[in-house]
Amino acid sequence: MDSTAHLPEGHGSDSKQSRGWKFWLIFVSLCASVFLSALDLSSVGTALPVIVNELHGEDSFAWVSAVYTLTCTAILPLSGQLADIWGRRVILLSAIFLFALGSVICATASSMNILIGGRAVQGMGSGGIQSLVAIIIADMVTLKERGLFISLTGAAYSIATAVGPFIAGVFSQKVTWRWQVRHHINLPLCGLAFSVVSLIRLRKPPVESIRKQLAVLDWIGNAAIMASTVSCVLALTWAGFSFPWASVQVLAPLICGVFGLVAALIYETWFATNPCVPIVIMSNRTSLSGYFGTFTHGMVSIIVFCGPLYFQACKLASPLRSGLYFFPMAVMISPAAIIQGITISKTGNYRLVSVLGWVSMLVGIGLLMLATPSANIGVVIVAQLVAAVGVGLLYCTQFSILAPLDPRLNSQALAFLLFLRSFSQTWGVAVGATIIQNHLKHHLPVVFLARFAPKQDIAYSAVPLLKSLSPSLRTEAQEAFSGSLRLLWIVSMALCGIGLLSVAFQKNIPLHRLRDERWGLESAPVTTEKQAEGLDDEQHEKDEVVAKNY
């Protein structure tokens, strides 16, 4: 494919626009929204054993995380199209409201079913927040200089990821996990983000009747993607726990979901008049490689989810102490993300950053192979730090995806990027949990294993009981947990190798300095491509060609 697409006249704006207090206020509110979403997601893993024990949810534990991921993933493609139809602000405010509502439901839950329902609502809100934050930043900042701003939102995400397990450990151990969710974390942040976003005026689409707006929506495409996603996530949630991987209960929805997604892409390509996932965003090898890297990166992120499990199971650390041990890894993601953003903005070389990211993850995960029950804590923390650098650097996939594309495709391209990241994390959690579960079933002491029901999740149910075992049984159980994680590290390294190879298919396309003038702050000046100041002839020619198929 060698076709070339050009931006029409008047659809680009200069990156050197002034940024007043309104810009920074909306940007801070976006960072607060990202922090809110990441904090809730990262704190669940640490507090989950306590939650499961209090609500007697041993049989439905997996749904606390799975339903959040399910609704978060399913809503992402739709959120991008809704933002184009009704505007960014309305959809972001709706997402924040849904997240707050879900937080209240979780905080007042008296049973696992109510908690799971609250997590489903939270997931929808979180998906909308993630999508709209990325889209609004793309509206306000050109790709050439976006690295710094992506880094800052990535820093907010990373800080939340770092403090989340610690805060969850403090509240679950010293007070109660409900107090954290209801009063001190989620709702104040929701109120802050909602208030600031309400005050700032973003450009709106032309006023149309509700009937015309609804007619523009890709009903069939969105329904097919959402139904197929739900089908896949259900299968992945059941696999290895409620039913064996080879059972019809798992294979039927998984096959239907995969074929449904393929059918949805075919429909989007050949039949949809206003597709929510236009095939043009994947029509060149650089963008396609970026999407593949995003999917692989999402699967490997299971190492972040399993960090607290190692410390609680193999080192018998409390939720609070495991959060402290995990803190350095989560903190290191933030500066790595900032460095990659600044580096790419200065050099434009996102391929090199991708290579360094995958290599760092390979080395870090390889060092985690040394994380046995008797391993020195310092060695494990160093291994986590090296892997964390890779995690942070690999948030650069956005640049390889967007560099060849027309800026007017930002919302669809970014929503699909986040969809793939979330969907791949579901696969990563499912595969990782299955690896751990199956290994524990074959290597835990028989006497200890007999305490659990056949379909019960062993990992998080067993952790609170380890200290009550006799020394010999406890040592055997710790070795079983260590072995299961070691097997997971091997699979993760293989995925990192595949991700590294995928970078070979990218071309380092120059980053353009164009912005879609239909969106952004109402007060922001709109400068057409030919009026833009500060663009030299060489850069101008690079910006003219924004969709070359490599």
Q: What is the pLDDT of residue 179?
A: 42
Average pLDDT over every residue of 25-52: 75
**Polymer length of the chain:** 550
Query: Which residue, 75, 79, 101, 88, is CA-closest to 26?
Result: 88
Q: What is the pLDDT of residue 176?
A: 54
Per-chain mean pLDDT for the chain: 81
* Position 247, amino acid: S
Contact 56, 178 (CB under 8 A): no
Average pLDDT over every residue of 254-271: 93
For the ranges 57-71, 387-401, 500-514, the lowest mean pLDDT is seen at 57-71
pLDDT in tens, 448-489: 888 887 767 777 788 888 888 899 999 999 999 999 999 999
What's the Cα-to-Cα distance from 300 to each of 39, 113, 247, 427, 496, rounded to whole Å?
20, 29, 26, 10, 7
Which tokens in the block code for residue 50?
């306590």
- Taken in order 285, 287, 288, 294, the sign of the CA dihedral is positive
Average pLDDT over every residue of 110-135: 89
Look at the block and give the residue holding tokens 């079913």: 113
- Taken in order 66, 194, 134, 327, the sign of the CA dihedral is negative
* Position 427, amino acid: W
Is the pLDDT higher at 117 or at 211?
A: 117
Q: What is the pLDDT of residue 171?
A: 62
H helices present in 88-145, as ranges = 88-107, 112-140
pLDDT band for position 52 (cuts 50, 70, 90): low
Q: What is the pLDDT of residue 292?
A: 95
Is the pLDDT higher at 61 or at 379?
A: 379
Is the pLDDT higher at 284 or at 214?
A: 284
Which tokens in the block code for residue 389?
């650098």
Query: In this model, does residue 4 exceed pLDDT 70?
Result: no
Q: Residue 445 is inside which H or E element, if any?
A: none
- Taken in order 124, 129, 131, 136, the sign of the CA dihedral is positive
Rounded CA gap, 265 and 283, in Å? 13
Could you tell me what percent of the chain has a pLDDT over 90? 28
Query: In this model, does residue 261 exceed pLDDT 90?
Result: yes
Could you tell me what percent of the chain has a pLDDT over 70? 81
Domain 4-217+274-548 is in which class?
Answer: mainly alpha
- Its pTM stands at 0.81
Is the pLDDT higher at 316 or at 516?
A: 316
